[in-house]
Amino acid sequence: MLSNLKPQAPDKILMLMEEFRADTRQGKVDLGVGVYKDPQGVTPVMRAVKAAEQRIWEAQTTKAYTGLAGTPEYRNAMARMVLKDVPADRLASVATVGGTGAIRQALELARMANPDLTVHVSDPTWPNHLSIMKFMGLPFVQYRYFDNDTRGVDFDGMKADIAKATKGDIVLLHGCCHNPTGANLTTDQWREVIAMLEKSGAVPLIDLAYQGFGDGLDADAEATRLVAASLPEVLIAASCSKNFGIYRERTGILMTLAENTGARDMAQGSMTFLNRQTYSFPPDHGARIVSTILDDDALRADWQSELEDVRNTMLGLRDQLASELRDLSGSDRFDFVARHRGMFSRLGATPEQVQKVKDDSAIYMVGDSRLNIAGLNRDSVPVLARAIIDAGI
Ligand code: PMP
């Protein structure tokens, strides 16, 4: 039976990591995989996470199961962090296995509610969105998103495409820090998208994986909050991997907002059921770290200040890279690097140019010219800028 299995396409980013590891050149730079790295190239455990783990270790007297939906502490703390004003009469939530688990459960839930749905997703998007939907056999179409000339959002194209979404379809939107492009909607553009969804009855699924990595913890949730306050039905898949730096703890949450308490209860029951069918109880350790931090004023303040340092480090690198490129190119055509937000920017280069940067300078970007800003430091920025110009990007 097992010999009937077919080989799976390897993950391109993980293949790039392998290639990087095998490269023996001095000063090689990895801008591939999406984890935050400090200027020394380390993905640190945040101070508040260490402190919370110590408290948990000291206080915890049992490892018995929690609840199928996760703990109320975690779900309440996350609802406050993401939504601020929590509409309890509309909100259902379940802890999930990372943000990926939240997206998977969101799509399963949507299909349970509407077996005929189509998912509308940005072109480009995080590749796992597409591969999950393909695996599930869920019909999807991609809406235009990235303008390769301006390296900003092709908003007219996006609007023309999401206008095709009909009642009961899902429109998947990145809440902030779009992956892989770094290009994001303005608040006014979000308002226009909301008005379109209101008219069509298509339901937004917001993927919020980088809250705190763009313009700040509240600013990055602004669009999600606006959507939540404006539309009758909203699905939100949030990840704690990046903003708490707890990637391997697999900590995420699916939140849904329903029209009324009856629909909320139905959603809660179905989401809990989905957890039960998939993995029973969601992991607790990461979730407990998060609620311990968010529920304690001192830990929360320390975490927020470290998160601000992370964010500002990335913004500083963006400014430095844009300024080096301005000097070298004698133009402002690379200023988009400073305007993009989050961990990634898409340069809009060809695969050949990406290859040349790798061959000539040992700088590894993803083939679609996505670079992880956090993989840079003050010393490698000028090297990258030179390589970009030399590759004719
Ligand atoms: N959504 C996006 C856009 C992402 O980039 C990621 C992580 N790479 C996730 C969701 C999922 O994050 P995780 O499952 O690691 O929490």
C-alpha of residue 252 to centroid of ligand 1, in Å: 9
Report whether residue 283 contacts ligand 1, using a CB cutoff of 6 Å: no
Place of tokens 């509409």: 87
Measured distance CA(311)–CA(292) in Å, rounded: 22
User: What's residue 88's pLDDT?
Assistant: 95
User: What's residue 33's pLDDT?
Assistant: 86
Q: Are residues 289 and 360 in the same domain?
A: no
Q: Are residues 329 and 291 in the same domain?
A: no
Residue 52 in domain: no
Q: Are residues 230 and 334 in the same domain?
A: no
User: What's residue 262's pLDDT?
Assistant: 97
Q: Are residues 239 and 265 in the same domain?
A: yes
- To test the pocket of ligand 1, the residue of 78, 126, 240 to mutate (highest count of ligand atoms within 8 Å of its CB) is 126
Active-site residue numbers? 126, 207, 209, 242
User: What's residue 185's pLDDT?
Assistant: 98
Report whether residue 286 contacts ligand 1, using a CB cutoff of 6 Å: no
User: What's residue 294's pLDDT?
Assistant: 98
Q: Are residues 37 and 94 in the same domain?
A: no
Query: Which segments in the chain show pLDDT lower than 70?
Result: none
Q: Do the beta carbons of residue 38 and residue 45 sit within 8 Å? A: no
Atom of ligand 1 nearest to the CA of 241: 16
C-alpha of residue 101 to centroid of ligand 1, in Å: 9
Residue type, 109: L
Residue 1 in domain: no
C-alpha of residue 209 to centroid of ligand 1, in Å: 5
User: What's residue 220's pLDDT?
Assistant: 98
Report whether residue 122 contacts ligand 1, using a CB cutoff of 6 Å: no
Residue 131 is part of a domain; what is its CATH number? 3.40.640.10
pLDDT digits (tens, 9 = 90+) for 243-295: 999 999 999 999 999 999 999 999 999 999 999 999 999 999 999 999 999 99
C-alpha of residue 3 to centroid of ligand 1, in Å: 32
Q: Are residues 165 and 277 in the same domain?
A: yes
Q: Are residues 368 and 328 in the same domain?
A: yes
Report whether residue 256 contacts ligand 1, using a CB cutoff of 6 Å: no
Residue 6 in domain: no
pLDDT digits (tens, 9 = 90+) for 170-216: 999 999 999 999 999 999 999 999 999 999 999 999 999 999 999 99
Q: What ipTM was assigned to the predicted interfaces of this complex?
A: 0.99
Domain that holds residue 223: 65-295
Q: Are residues 182 and 71 in the same domain?
A: yes
Report whether residue 126 contacts ligand 1, using a CB cutoff of 6 Å: yes
Q: Are residues 169 and 227 in the same domain?
A: yes
Q: Are residues 268 and 230 in the same domain?
A: yes
Q: Are residues 324 and 289 in the same domain?
A: no
Q: Could you write out the three-class secondary structure of 266-315?
A: HHHHHHHHHHHHHCCCCCCHHHHHHHHHHCCHHHHHHHHHHHHHHHHHHH
